[in-house]
Amino acid sequence: MENNKKIKVHIADDHQILIDGIVAVLKNEENIDVAGHSLNGRLVIDWLNENKADVLVLDINMPEVDGLEVLRYLKKNKLELPTIILSSYDDVKLVKEVLKMGADGFLAKKCAGENIVEAINSVYNGDQYFSNEVQKDLVAAAVGKTIRKKVHQDGVFSSSLTDRELEVLQLISIEMSTKEIAERLNISTSTVDTYRKNLLQKTKAKNSVGLAMYAVRNKLL
């Protein structure tokens, strides 16, 4: 019952309805206290400057300042705050990206509200938490429970995209042709072709549209 024993949670999502839902679910939990909630990343950072949370539940897609930027901010300022990513997609590629950026959990929105309780308790205790399907995929990727270590030790999960590849991906996403990209980057079209091939392989996209959609999904633009 004591307040100082409760896990203080901050929830960030641009959908008020979803926040309401999570709050409703967490209201039944005695050891969890929703200390605050924000509708975008800017508000999260502002809030964290004034208050303290034990766990952050963070949506990726938010206006103005999105979840990835909040993660970057936390990392840069060496704020060790257990963070669970809320996502509409249980995209393995996105999981990898956010893990690399310091997130500790990944919860697909389509998961029932009850899982969020588990997730919060897990990351609060220093563990990691992943949605079912995500976890399956991760396991399929031949990794056990030491995911974080893997990530930080040998970069198994680090985003497969190099700087240059990302650059090319971004230019593809703004409707540039190979020739245009080559001119823009002052490299030959052959080189751009190589990046295209690597991108298609790494993102498992079928064509340029798939590359652009990958960029959209993973907020790479």
Composition of the chain by helix, strand, coil, percent to 5: 50, 15, 35
Q: Rule CB under 8 A: is residue 205 a binding residue for a copy of itself?
A: yes
Footprint on residues 9-38 left by a copy of itself (CB under 8 A): 14-22, 24-25
Is position 201 an interface residue for a copy of itself (rule: CB under 8 A)?
Answer: no
Q: Distance between alpha carbon 23 and the CA centroid of its chain, in Å?
A: 21
Task: List the single partner that 15 binds among DNA, a copy of itself, none, CB under 5 to 8 Å by kind.
Answer: a copy of itself
Among 79, 117, 213, 220, binds a copy of itself (CB under 8 A): 213
90 contact partners, CB below 8 Å, separation of at least 6: 106, 108, 110, 131, 133, 134, 137
CA distances to 32, 97, 150, 167 from 94, rounded to whole Å, are 28, 5, 16, 18
Cα 96 → chain centroid? 8
Q: Which does 128 bind (CB under 5 to 8 A by kind): a copy of itself, DNA, none?
A: none
207 binds DNA (CB under 7 A): yes
Q: What is the DSSP letter of 205?
A: -
User: Candidates 9-17, 37-45, 81-89, 180-188 — which segment interacts with DNA by CB under 7 A?
Assistant: 180-188
Binding mask 136-175 for a copy of itself (x = CB under 8 A): ------------------------------------xx-x
184-to-55, 170, 190 alpha-carbon distances in Å: 43, 12, 14
Residue from 1, 2, 112, 126 touching a copy of itself (CB under 8 A): that is 112
Residue 115 binds to DNA (criterion: CB under 7 A)? no
Is position 189 an interface residue for a copy of itself (rule: CB under 8 A)? no
Which range of residues in 67-75, 107-115, 125-133, 157-165 is near DNA by CB under 7 A? 157-165
Residue among 9, 59, 6 nearest 35 (CA): 9
From the list a copy of itself, DNA, none, which binds 109 (C-beta under 5 to 8 Å, kind-based)?
A: a copy of itself
Strands 129-130 and 105-108: parallel
Amino acid making up residue 110: K
How far is residue 200's CA from residue 12's CA, in Å, rounded to a whole number? 33
CA 89 – CA 217 distance, rounded (Å): 8
Residues that bind a copy of itself (CB under 8 A): 14-22, 24-25, 39, 61, 88, 109-113, 116, 172-173, 175, 177, 205-213, 216
Residues that bind DNA (CB under 7 A): 158, 162-165, 177-179, 185, 187-191, 193-197, 200, 206-208
